[in-house]
Amino acid sequence: MKEEENNFLNYLENIKNYSDKTVDSYEKDLNNFIEFCNQNKIDDVRKIDYPFFRKYLLYLYENKYQKTTINRHISSIKSFFKYLVKEGKIKENPTILLETIKKDKKLPKYLNYSMIEEFLNLPDNNTPLGQRDMVILELLYSTGIRVSELVSITLKDIELSENRIKVKGKGSKDRYVLYGNVLKDKMLLYVQDGRQKILKQKKSKYLIINNQGNKITESGVRYIFDVLLKKACIKNHITPHMLRHTFATHMLNEGADLKVVQELLGHENLSTTQIYTHVSNERLRSVYLNAHPRAKR
């Protein structure tokens, strides 16, 4: 079974061109499933049937896996067996009846206008690292990009004359995001001053670099957030992804079209973007209840 798994992972990496992070996620899920198969003395994919998958899901439930994690396991397993059918390793797909479970709907957390302004002004633009941190925060809020997309931006990806940046999203799909003059000014200051001082004599194609002049990691960005929050004594836990939520929410609050926000965020399905309309609706409800004489208690 391990051989089939390795072939599948190679297929995802070399044929489907999935990112290393995505392939690693599939590998982790499948290793967990194969280990469960071994525990139940099953070493051949042809011996696995639908009832066995139900048994595996029960195992995940009993071990307190979150619904999102269980759904990811289901998705990985279904993709794996679909591949096995395609390659002729099995005749029928036993995962056809396997469905994902309904997740608890959670509204995304975002920052209000005063809080985002306070947070964006935390870095010290008189220092090289402060200029870099200032660009990180402004990029995440002004464009709504993911942290994984942020760390991969190169200087060639930035089109200053068009005020846009090419980013590589999920599934290695390229898209353009737009930005305003506020970010443009901060980016120019950083590229011409702070970035050069951080690099010293080194060279890098990446826009955001760490204090050693190398490409910054996603965990490195999260560390910067934690340091800024600690220095400012802000009790709210603010994550990089919350700035993406804030971007989407503020865009819709200011009248942006949902499909435009979908394209800027890089969502494949409009339903993914629609969760932000619930956030906006909650805000409208709050304003109405506090403002209208007939709504006040």
Please indicate, yes or no, whether residues 63 and 159 belong to a single structural domain of this protein.
Answer: no
pLDDT in tens, 220-267: 999 999 999 988 877 778 999 999 999 999 998 888 888 999 999 999
* 184-211 mean pLDDT: 96
Alpha carbons 297 and 290: distance in angstroms, whole number: 9
pLDDT of 287 = 65
Residue 72, domain member (yes or no): yes
Residue ending a domain, choose from 46, 70, 86: 86
Residue 293, domain member (yes or no): no
The better pLDDT of the pair 201, 222 is held by: 222
Q: Which of 82, 109, 168, 170 is catalytic?
A: 170
Could you tell me if 249 and 280 are in contact, meaning their C-beta atoms sit under 8 angstroms apart? yes
Please indicate, yes or no, whether residues 33 and 147 belong to a single structural domain of this protein.
Answer: no
pLDDT of 236 = 79
Q: Which of 132, 186, 245, 267 is catalytic?
A: 267
Residue whose token pair is 């002049």? 213
User: Smallest Cα–Cα separation from 80: which of 60, 53, 113, 106?
Assistant: 53
Clarify whether 170 is annotated catalytic: yes
Please indicate, yes or no, whether residues 122 and 34 belong to a single structural domain of this protein.
Answer: no
Q: Check which CATH number belongs to the domain holding 122 and give it.
A: 1.10.443.10
The domain containing residue 24 runs over which residues? 2-86
Please indicate, yes or no, whether residues 80 and 119 belong to a single structural domain of this protein.
Answer: no
Clarify whether 244 is annotated catalytic: yes
Please indicate, yes or no, whether residues 146 and 79 belong to a single structural domain of this protein.
Answer: no
Domain count, the chain: 2
Assess whether pLDDT exceeds 60 at residue 269.
Answer: yes
Task: List Cβ neighbours of 105 (8 Å cut-off, separation of 6 or more).
Answer: 275
How big, in percent rounded to 5, are the helix, strand and coil portions of the chain? Answer: 60, 5, 35
Please indicate, yes or no, whether residues 124 and 81 belong to a single structural domain of this protein.
Answer: no
Residue 108, domain member (yes or no): no
Clarify whether 54 is annotated catalytic: no
Distances (CA, A) of 264 to 169, 258, 269, 280: 11, 10, 12, 18
Alpha carbons 241 and 253: distance in angstroms, whole number: 18
Residue ending a domain, choose from 191, 213, 237: 237
Strand partners, 145: none
pLDDT in tens, 121-149: 999 999 999 999 999 999 999 999 999 99
Q: Which of 78, 132, 146, 250 is catalytic?
A: 146
- If phi over 0 gives left and psi between -120 and 50 gives alpha, with beta otherwise, what is residue 41? left
Residue 49, domain member (yes or no): yes
Alpha carbons 174 and 170: distance in angstroms, whole number: 9
Please indicate, yes or no, whether residues 80 and 153 belong to a single structural domain of this protein.
Answer: no
Q: Which of 56, 83, 110, 276 is catalytic?
A: 276
Please indicate, yes or no, whether residues 79 and 31 belong to a single structural domain of this protein.
Answer: yes
pLDDT of 275 = 82
Q: Quote the pTM value.
A: 0.65
Please indicate, yes or no, whether residues 123 and 227 belong to a single structural domain of this protein.
Answer: yes
Residue 96, domain member (yes or no): no
Q: Which of 186, 195, 244, 245 is catalytic?
A: 244
Q: Which helix (H) or strand (E) holds 183?
A: helix 181-189
Residue 181, domain member (yes or no): yes
Clarify whether 276 is annotated catalytic: yes
Please indicate, yes or no, whether residues 38 and 128 belong to a single structural domain of this protein.
Answer: no
Please indicate, yes or no, whether residues 59 and 124 belong to a single structural domain of this protein.
Answer: no
Give the type of residue at 272: T
Q: Which of 72, 166, 222, 241 is catalytic?
A: 241
Residue ending a domain, choose from 222, 237, 252: 237
Please indicate, yes or no, whether residues 36 and 140 belong to a single structural domain of this protein.
Answer: no
Residues written for the chain: 297
